[in-house]
Amino acid sequence: MALQQIRLSDDDLANYLELTNWAKDFSWNDICMISKYMKAYSATKDTVIFEESAEDNTMAIVIKGKIDIIKKESGSKVNVIASIFPSQSFGEMSLIDGESRSAQAIASTQTEMLFLSKDALFSLLEESPKLAFKLLWIISQMLSLRLRRTSGNLVAQLNKS
């Protein structure tokens, strides 16, 4: 049960990224540039990818498999608050704000992912500011969409009470 880096060529990393919905807004050259700043990892079932409260500033995009996002309650109760499937990402909040993880991420199947760290994002920013801005814009839109969905779910739950 371990997270292991997969050694891939730049072309293979770009091909991995191209398989995701993340690539739809980028040209092939953009995908090649972004993927140079990413690292590929695999995880076996039940591997903890991110621990709740851990200090980390990395996001991941799922290529294969499934990740469960888990929030633990007091005691031993565990709630799966989201499942992340291929082409979806997780960990964006810590990438953007540098705060500790708000939940735990566990591989619920054999999984392959691409990771992007804050340091790598800043390196991309130095090399290609427009491309880094576009990537951040997409991440921001996705976070905004999730916040809207969560707000809607909260209102629905409050109305049930």
Using only C-alpha atoms, the chain has a radius of gyration, in whole angstroms, of 16
Of the candidate CATH numbers 2.60.40.10, 3.90.79.10, 3.20.20.140, 2.60.120.10, the domain formed by 3-160 belongs to: 2.60.120.10
Q: What's the predicted TM-score (pTM) here?
A: 0.88
Over 80: is that where the pLDDT of 156 sits? no
Q: Decide: helix, strand or coil at residue 44.
A: coil
Between the alpha carbon of residue 85 and those of residues 60, 93, 148, the distances in Å are: 11, 18, 20
How do residues 11-47 score in pLDDT, each as one tens digit? 999 999 998 988 899 999 999 999 999 999 999 999 9
Which residues have a Cβ under 8 Å from the Cβ of 26 and sit 6 or more positions away? 34, 131, 134
Domain boundaries, the chain: 3-160
